[in-house]
Structure 1
Amino acid sequence: MGLRSLEAALPAGVDPRQHARVLALIHDAALSGRALPGRPRPVIGASWQRMRRLGLDPDRGAPGIRLKIEEIEERRRGSGLAEVLPALRAGLLPMAEQAAHIMVVTDAEGRILWREGSAPVRRRADAIGFSEGVDWHENAVGTNAIGTALVARRPVQVYSAEHYVRAQHDWTCAAVPLRDPRDGRLIGAVDLSGPASTVHPTTLALVDAVAQLAEAGLRSAHGTELERLRGIAVPVLAKVRGRAVAVDPHGWVAATSGLAPLDRIALPTGCSPGRAWLPAYGSCRIEPLPGGWLVRLADGEDEAGTQPTRVVLDVRAPREPTLTVSGAAGTWTHRLSPRHAEMLYVLACRRDGRSASELSLDLFGDAARTVTVRAEMSRLRRHFGGVLGGRPYRFADDVEVVVERPEDPAEVLPHSLAPAIRG
């Protein structure tokens, strides 16, 4: 675990009050259509554009409905966040109490599930509806650290008039998305918020470090689950004829027989017992194990006609991009990570293929980041070996590729800053 490169809302050495005045001028000019006296940060500017397209009222936001207590409790139980809450409290509440902040934890939809910290600040937060059970996604309350971090899928700090809705200009907030390390799924966000006068450039780094510690706890618990599955699977695999692999429900490999070890294989969404085509292995038979699946490769069976013939990349739902693979063996759907969705989208739009340097330029605006590109493409090709080719990276020539897009091109992977997508 290490600290990521983070962009604070308040540049080091800048007077907060003067900076807030400049931001207010930029905000007013952007909303009125006048020439901007300066440029908002890219993450803020992209969010403001989304709010204008949405038609959100900058004075009031959208009408919000507060969940009932029993609904909040139900979301808490189903969110998967209760496991990380002790680590978040231990890391952030002492600072929140001392620095006149509150700690807020939301689910993946932006609903506030927990809010703790300074009592005076909690009372101030009540005045703008910043309380448990309220939707704090961008679509409801405009640009803010929680909602924008959930869309951008990265840590975000928002200060003063960077908030789209004027009622929030007296606030500063720093939020970090939380992911389940088992499948990379976004499960929520953690945020530190307080009066704008309490802004500090290191707050985001603190929240990010604590969030990474919390996710490390989930990763450790997952390792224990895999060890338990391994203890069950090894005796089973010893009796299996042919090649087989034992995986947990998320595709993480616990044990193998007759196969080169992999960390993870991509399973179909809603995996169930029976015959299935898996991109990593071809035709397989899937059987249940306590805490996972036994995947038997269909060695010796006729593989003719089982190769994929059609893939559909669906990016219409910004939080749930998927790849659906179809062929004579059936249909298989897998949820994609934000980075893999970006890469597959570029390759779907460029059927002639892209070299590592070209893909690096497409994704990062820098042709030199080929090491990152090759590592991610290696993971993709392990998952989708029958669909993707190399040299150059591309979808297989004999596979039909369909891209399902939202009507508004600006809503294609809204979290992405990749030049090939945003350009």
Structure 2
Amino acid sequence: MDASGAGAVALLRAAHERFVTSAGRGPEVRGLVADSWRRCAAGGMRPDGGDPPPLLRPPAELDACRLTHPLAAVLPLFRDLLGPGAADDGHVFAVGDADGTLLWVEGDAQAIRRAERMRFVAGAGWAERTAGTNAPGTALRLGRPVQIVTGEHYSAAVHDWSCAAAPVRDPVTGRVVGVVDLSGGATIATPPALAAVRGAALAAEAQLARSPASVPFPGPDAAPGEMRLSALGRDHAVLEYGDHVVRLSPRHSEIVLALALVGSGMTGEQLAVDLSEREIPASTLRAEMTRLRAVLGADLLGSRPYTLLRPARTDADDVSRLLAAGRVHEALDRYRGPLLPCSEAPVVVEQRRCLEQQLRAAVLAAGDAGLLRRWVGATWGAEDTGAWAALAHTLPGGSPQRAAAAARARALAPATPAFPQLRTHAAVLQRFRS
């Protein structure tokens, strides 16, 4: 659902009202949100906003926690990447720990005062179980980037806000150590906002990886005991582990990718939401998981919850980490095409879009004619009006290639819908460059 207009906002609030006033009524929202609302209702949370999130850390304890938390080392990075945009656009950015307790909340002064009224403050607990459906809490619950807009929040007290958040993982262990969030008005309910927090989280992970206590950026070969999933530019992902190479079916590709992205266990209900906007019967999912277990073996696929029993890295992860480190040429080398291009699974569609937006923004921000030529020369960039125009601008005046690129941009402009605005995200990625 497009939540950018007043009509869409009203529809979301009406769907929320029907859900909370009609016992047993199915949520009329996208699957990720519906699943979260059900968890909140089952946990006895009040949807009217009458119970604000708890204040879990008093000032003295909060100061001590900040000093020792691993994300303290990358707070200057977050301030550099997200702080100016938040202050200029009337938003706040927040950094929380792995339990959803906010450690830092900064940004526009007026927005901070508004946030205080719903207890979106340092020390408050914004885990989903204590604050309802919200981007930082639900991102931590699912282990992946999440965007929650206006009436998608379970608590009515947050319906005037939209937010986007991404978990931050320890680059060595893969364990989630915290979350970074942008909260504010309508512009947060857009793809660039989600891409920006995801990019900031990846930049933080890249900086943590460069610290003496961490490992360097991983190469293309899997580490001992690690599985590698190749899913860019192909509908049948390839899973490699040890001496084994398995070509997965399209559905098994989606399942393994979903489990690899989370990095932790998932219930059948959570996995079903990731795989389809439509309801998947529990018996159907169990049968599919039984078939997948027969392919992989019980030593690789666990149940209750469903989980991969070895650490897994995807080729999409490699591209994202290279982008976060400012290594755009190498990222484009690794990018073999859209992630599982024919998949319509929500988790795949979201990750595919985010990765392509990150890569495109980095290519445009680099201002490098060679990178731009490679982008427009690929299938996925051949009709990118903005990239052709950028290429024409980059090439020297009087060059026949410049004239040809400008002509191609003009030819595409009338027939090609505008690509989502990525100026903010492009600026963020430009700062990643070393």
Q: Name the TM-score, length of structure 1 as normaliser.
A: 0.53
Q: Deviations over 1:107-130 (max 9, x none)?
A: 001111001100000000111111
Alpha-carbon distance in 2 for matches of 1:93, 1:75: 22
Change (3 A) 1:70 1:20: same
Q: Which residue of 2 aligns with 1:99?
A: 89
- The Cα shift of 1:61 comes to 3.4
Change (3 A) 1:58 1:220: same
The answer for the alignment partner of 1:43 in structure 2 is 32
Instruction: Note the 1:359-398 alignment, pairs <5 A.
Output: 393-395=297-299
1:66: Cα distance to partner? 4.5
| Larger of the two Rg values belongs to structure | 1
Secondary structure (helix, strand or coil) at the match of 1:84 reads helix
Once the two structures are superposed, residues 162-214 of structure 1 have per-residue CA deviations (whole angstroms, 9 ceiling, x without a partner) of: 00011110111111011111101111100000135764332111111121111
Q: Kindly provide the CA deviation profile for residues 11-34 of structure 1, in whole angstroms up to 9, marking residues without a partner as x.
A: 3xx652111100011101111127
Residue 191 of structure 2 aligns to a residue whose secondary structure is coil
Give 1:69's aligned amino acid: P
Q: 1:19 to 1:35 in 2, by over 3 A?
A: farther
Runs of 5+ unmatched residues, structure 1:
1-9, 228-251, 254-260, 267-279, 281-335, 344-360, 378-389, 406-411
The correspondence for 1:139, drawn from 104, 118, 129, is 129
Q: CA deviation at 1:68?
A: 1.6
Q: 1:190 is matched with which residue?
A: 180
Partner of 2:7: 18
1:280-359 aligned at under 5 Å gives the runs 338-339=262-263, 341=265
The structure richer in strand per residue is 1
Distance 2:214 2:42 in 1: 45
TM-score (norm 2): 0.52
Find the aligned partners of 1:26 and 1:114 in 2 and give their Cα distance.
Answer: 32
- Say what the alpha-carbon RMSD is for the aligned residues: 4.2
Contact persistence 1:153–1:177 (CA under 8 A): yes
Alpha carbons of structure 1 residues 63 and 115: separation in structure 2 relative to 1, 3 Å: closer
Q: 1:226 to 1:362 in 2, by over 3 A?
A: same
* Structure (1 or 2) with the greater helix fraction: 2
Contact 1:364 1:418 in 2 (8 A): no
Q: 1:26, 1:38 within 8 Å by CA — same for their partners in 2?
A: yes
Matched, 1:56 2:16: no
Q: How does 1:407-418 map to 2 (within 5 A)?
A: 412=305
1:80 aligned partner: 70
SS of 2:133's equivalent in the other structure is coil
Partners of 2:130 and 2:112 lie apart in 1 by: 20
Unaligned stretches of 5+ residues in structure 2 = 227-241, 243-259, 268-283, 308-344, 348-434
Cα distance in 1, alignment partners of residues 56 and 286 from structure 2: 39
Letter in 1 for 2:80: A
For the residue of structure 1 that corresponds to 2:45, the secondary structure is coil
Q: 1:165 aligns with which of 134, 139, 155?
A: 155
Q: Would the alpha carbon gap of residues 418 and 118 (structure 1) be closer, same or farther in structure 2, given more than 3 Å must change?
A: closer
Distance in structure 2 (CA, Å) of the matches to 1:56 and 1:62: 10
Q: State the partner residue of 1:125.
A: 115
Matches within 5 A, 1:143-292: 143-196=133-186, 199-221=189-211, 263-264=223-224
**Structure 2 residue 18 is matched with structure 1 residue 33:** no
Is this contact kept in 2: 1:105–1:189, CA < 8 A? Answer: yes
Quote how far apart the aligned CAs of 1:221 are: 2.1
Amino acid at match of 1:94: P
> CA offset at residue 98 of structure 1?
1.4
Q: Tell me if structure 2 keeps the 8 A contact 1:169–1:196.
A: no
Q: Return the alpha-carbon distance in structure 1 between the equivalents of residues 61 and 185 of structure 2.
A: 29
| Cα gap change, 1:89 to 1:52, in 2 (>3 Å) | same
Q: Report the secondary structure of 2:34's partner residue.
A: helix
Tell me the matched-pair count: 261
